Structures are given as structure tokens and as C-alpha cells.
Amino acid sequence: MRHLRFRAAALLWALLSSAAVSAAPARATVSNDTHATACAEEDNVSLNLDGANIRRFRVEALPPAYLATIEQDRTAPDFSGCNFDGSTHPTDPRYSFEERRVVLHDGPRWQIVGITLPSFWRPERVPVRVDGRSDRGFHMIQVFAKTGAKPLEALVMYPSDGYWRIKPLPPARFGDGVYGSSFVMGPVEQAGRPVARIASIAIETRPLAFKLRFANGGEAKVDVREISEARTTLDVATKPGRRQGPRFAVLRSMYVAPDNADMSEVAWRATPEGTEQRKPLPEVRTLEAADVRFGRSIPSRHNTSAPDIRFGSFETGAR
């Protein structure tokens, strides 16, 4: 009988230990695939986030550290070092569509708008459902927060290639504010640039959340936790699909020089309680991070108020 009790206790301990580690804190491997460019309108920055068993993480858009010191936001495009003038990038394929704009939701807190562009570099027409209303073929899904005199855009996602842009609500002196770095989340593939192939999107507005189904059978739920002047926060929970590698996100951005960049340095902690480390982007190769912030310490002459993007709260398994 004592032997049976010992075996039962050991089994219970094993089950509890397994449950405890099923949602354990984790570190992501960050690697740098950036290439040099003279074009301030080219996404030459690729910072990869890998973690074979990372299933949950948080993404935040945060004001740059210098925001309070600047009065003028410089947002005009600069094609002076580019081989294109703002139209389709010369290396991209080009697919034509019927242009349209559809208000998919207009409630007390959010306005959600779907945009189909006259041309786009991907042919996919992803089905989108918002609170049960179905449509398809949008290249952009915009989320406007209703917190003041007029709705302000704080999030845009791109169904056809899986990209996201987020920003905090801007100080009044900066009008609508401006995006900077973008990121792609999910089962990342290479198709001329990193993409995530989305099969369908369901958006719920109470509370606000995106439910994504990927082409490989994987899934993600993106909860919009906060949109304010302090931050815009997304909590992401994923379920892997077929033949899925360890890459769960890629940050994409622009860097020409420290004062001409949407992000110019990487700050990270190796453990949640560890000391923050910081390196200029060109010096970053590979690092292990419990949280990592892609941002700027000095004002940029390009998209000056654009936010830093931070990834953290990495967890393995599921709760």
C-alpha cells in the first residue's frame, strides 16, 4: 500500500510539474538580417525573433524616449536615395484590384475600416469577419480609437502579407501621429520579404481582438489590451500549424543612419530582472532576450515621433 501511495504521489508531482512548465517564461533569440541602404523609404531592417516553443508574447508601441523634447514632427517621405518615387517598388510583383473603403464597425470605442488598394504586391483576398459581418479582399484593416474629438488611428494590419503597425495615441501637437517600424507575426515565410500567409480573420469588438487562421493550419489570437498616449499593447497567443519553424515574428524597419531611421538601436534584458543592455543596430548580431525594444535615443529626421516597438512576456506552452 505504501508503494502504491508513493507511486500516486510521484505521478501527481509529475503532473503538477508538467503543468507548471507548460506556460513557463522564456527567452527569444533575436538575429539581425539588416542590409545597408541609402533609401529612407526602404525596409532594409529585418530583426528575427525565434523560439521553438514560444506560444504567448506581448507587443507594445511606446513613445520614443526623446518625444517630450521635440515640437515638430518630420513625417514627409524622402526618396532622395531611392530608385523609386513612392509608387510600386520596382522589385515587387503588382496585382490590380477594385479600390474601395468599407466601414466594418462603428461603435462607441472603435471604428474599424477595410481598405482595398488599386494595386498590391500580393494576390491573396483574405476573408474577414467583424462581429459576424463577412467581407474579403482588404489590403488594410484600420482601427481608430474614439477617445477625443475625433477618431485616431492606432493600429493597421495587412491581411494579404500578415504585417502589423501600431502606435500610441499622439500628443495633440502631433495631429494624427505617425507609424514607423512594422512587424509580421505567425508562421513566417520568405517571399521576397518575410510574410505570414493568413487564411481568414475574425475580429471581435467587445473586447477588441483579432482571431487569425493561417494557411498552414496554425492560429493566433491578438487581444488589443490598451490604446493610450502611453502605449498600444497587443497580447498574442498562438497555436502552431503544420511544418512550422521556430520563427514567430520579424520586425521590419528602416535605417540609413542613427539620425535617419525608424529604429536605430536595440535594448534588451537577458532575464526579466536583468540589467538592460543596449547596442546600436549595426553592432547587433544575435542575442537572447526576455524582452527586447527596437527604438531610438536621438531624434530622427525621418518619422520623428514614430514609436519604439517592444516584444516581451514570452511564454512557452499554453495556460
**Tens digits of per-residue pLDDT, 190-201?**
999 999 999 999
pLDDT above 70 as % of the chain? 90
What pLDDT score was predicted for residue 16? 39
**Tens digits of per-residue pLDDT, 150-177?**
999 999 999 999 999 999 999 988 889 9
What pLDDT score was predicted for residue 195? 97
Residues 300/259, Cβ–Cβ less than 8 Å:
yes
Cell numbers placing 138: 482588404
CA distance 202 to 72: 38
Quote the distance between the C-alpha of residue 111 and its chain's center. Answer: 20
Mean pLDDT of 223-245: 96
What pLDDT score was predicted for residue 22? 55
Q: Give 9's DSSP letter.
A: H
Range from 18-27, 152-161, 204-213, 279-288 carrying the lowest mean pLDDT: 18-27
**pTM, entire model:** 0.89
What pLDDT score was predicted for residue 92? 78
CA distance 265 to 126: 35
**Tens digits of per-residue pLDDT, 38-62?**
998 889 999 999 998 999 999 999 9
What pLDDT score was predicted for residue 169? 96
Largest CA distance in the chain: 82
- pLDDT of 144 > 70? The answer is yes
Mean pLDDT of 115-142: 96
Quote the distance between the C-alpha of residue 185 and its chain's center. Answer: 6
Mean pLDDT of 263-271: 97
What pLDDT score was predicted for residue 21? 43
Kindly report the number of other CB atoms within 10 A of residue 29's CB atom: 16
Domain boundaries, the chain: 24-316
For residue 202, the one-letter residue type is A
Mean pLDDT of 113-134: 96
How would residue 14 be classed by pLDDT, with cut points 50, 70 and 90? Answer: very low
CA distance 242 to 265: 34
Q: What is the DSSP string of 20-54?
A: HHTT-B--EEEEE-----S-TTS--EEEEEE-TTE
Kindly report the number of other CB atoms within 10 A of residue 66's CB atom: 15
pLDDT above 90 as % of the chain? 78
What pLDDT score was predicted for residue 90? 64
CA distance 236 to 250: 14
What pLDDT score was predicted for residue 87? 60
Range from 32-41, 107-116, 310-319 carrying the lowest mean pLDDT: 310-319
Q: Is 95 exposed, middle or buried (0-12, 13-18, 19+ CB in 10 A)?
A: middle
How would residue 24 be classed by pLDDT, with cut points 50, 70 and 90? Answer: confident
Cell 500578415: give the residue.
162
Mean pLDDT of 232-252: 95
